[in-house]
Amino acid sequence: MRMPRTAIAVLAFCLIGLVPFATSSSATATEVAAKANDSSVARALPTRTVKFEFKAISRTRYKFVGKVEKATNKKIILMRSKTKRGKYRAFKTTRTNERGNYKFLGLRATGWYHVKVPADARFATSRSQLIRVFYT
């Protein structure tokens, strides 16, 4: 029984290593799928710089203003506060303008606050510094 020339050529390339065997390519696909589901891939993305300031409007009204570097227009920003149990929860949302600026108005409680920018395709989740607010 004679083998066709193309089958001989493919077998020779497989033995040399120029064409991968089917078993090695399926193992590679499994490794790629495992890496895609791994959370360490998200940590490898760069983060945005988030600036966050506290300003007084009057004796009883305050606002938080800030800027997100490299933000797109209408990017969602989450205002988060620390609960009594030590966890953070988002209680207000806003969106950035075309320059990446945002503001939150009408906060009237003493506590710890920070801003979180959720992850997208280009950047990992970013968070601002913590600010403690005292109301008297």
Provide the pLDDT for residue 136: 63
Query: Residue 16: how many CA atoms within 13 Å on its side-chain side?
Result: 8
User: What is the model's pTM?
Assistant: 0.59
Q: How many CA atoms lie within 13 A of 95 on its CB side?
A: 6
* CATH class belonging to 50-133: mainly beta
Which pLDDT belongs to residue 72? 78
Residue 34 one-letter amino acid: A
Q: Which residues of the chain have pLDDT under 70?
A: 1-3, 5-43, 108, 136
Q: What is the mean pLDDT of the chain?
A: 74
User: Tell me, what's the pLDDT at 119?
Assistant: 87
Strand positions, DSSP E, 31-134:
50-56, 62-68, 76-82, 88-95, 101-105, 111-117, 126-127, 131-133
Q: Tell me how far apart the 2 most distant CA atoms of the chain are, in Å.
A: 97
Q: Pick from 124, 34, 108: which is nearest to 116 by CA?
A: 124
Q: How many CA atoms lie within 13 A of 100 on its CB side?
A: 12
In this prediction, what percent of the chain has a pLDDT beyond 70?
Answer: 66
Q: Where, residue-wise, is CATH 2.60.40.10 in the chain?
A: 50-133
What pLDDT shows up at residue 45?
83
Phi and psi (nearest 5°) for 62? -135, 160
Please check whether residue 9 is in contact with residue 16, taking contact to mean a CB–CB distance below 8 angstroms. Answer: no
